Copies of this chain bind each other. A is one copy, B any other.
Amino acid sequence: MSYIQSLDNLISAFRALPGVGYKTAQRYAYSILNMKEDDVKTFASNMLEAKQKIRFCSECGNFSENEVCEHCLKNNAEVICVVAEPKDVVALEKLKNFNGAYHVLHGCINPLEHKSPNDIRIKELVARVQKHKTKEVIMATNPDVPGDTTAYYIAELLKPFGVKVTRIAQGVSMGTDLEYADEVTLNRAMELRNDL
């Protein structure tokens, strides 16, 4: 603790960010004091503006400044790629050749975190599939237990609607040295091996 109230307040504010302890918060606070006042004003107003403008798209659940996000306005929902979090959309957006729509679940089914199917945006997905006569749903949740569980759950749920449900491929990453790949990944890569 320093003895300057406004500095202490700023340090506490930074500590609310994920993974930021006292030392890091202190370092951030000092860097704010070293910035030009105009830059600090811009920083503060960017923060407020983002918080006030951004909500969830009513269609896909991704962050959006409007009721329906630009992505949903541009792309039809013939193919829907389902992800757990908005940040996953950012990762997939790097692929320039996917032209379908996204659907953000806001979590995965996870009993350990008390997340049941009703706690994530599954019924919204079912409604979208029915409304847009979707042909394929690509499950792009993370390759871990909650991600896999969610993928299988949704695949079962969508069976009656005659929509094809696929899962992104799992195996060894491109460029990996096999010697450093973990056992679980190698196991999965062997199980899911393809014909050449």
Chain A residues engaging chain B, CB cutoff 8 angstroms = 2-7, 9-10, 12-13, 16-19, 26-33, 35, 37, 39-54, 63-65, 69-71, 86-87, 89-90, 93
Contact = CB atoms under 8 A, between A and B. Distances in A.
Contacts of A7: 50, 54, 63
B35 A70 contact: no
B2 A46 contact: no
A172 to B, nearest CB: 23
Contact of A44 (B33, B47, B70): B47
23 contacts: A2-B93, A3-B70, A3-B93, A4-B63, A4-B64, A5-B65, A6-B50, A6-B54, A6-B65, A7-B50, A10-B46, A10-B49, A10-B50, A13-B46, A17-B31, A18-B27, A26-B90, A30-B86, A33-B50, A33-B54, A33-B63, A44-B45, A44-B47
A33 B65 CA distance: 12
A53 B37 CA distance: 11
Tell me how many chains of this kind the complex includes. Answer: 2
B43 A13 contact: yes
A73 B37 CA distance: 27
Given A3-B93, A9-B46, A37-B51, 15 more contacts: A2-B63, A4-B63, A7-B54, A17-B28, A17-B31, A18-B27, A26-B90, A30-B87, A32-B50, A37-B52, A40-B47, A40-B51, A43-B47, A44-B44, A44-B48
A31 to B, nearest CB: 5
Nearest to A55: B33
Given A37-B51, A65-B4, A87 B26 contact: yes
Contacts of A4: 54, 63-65, 69
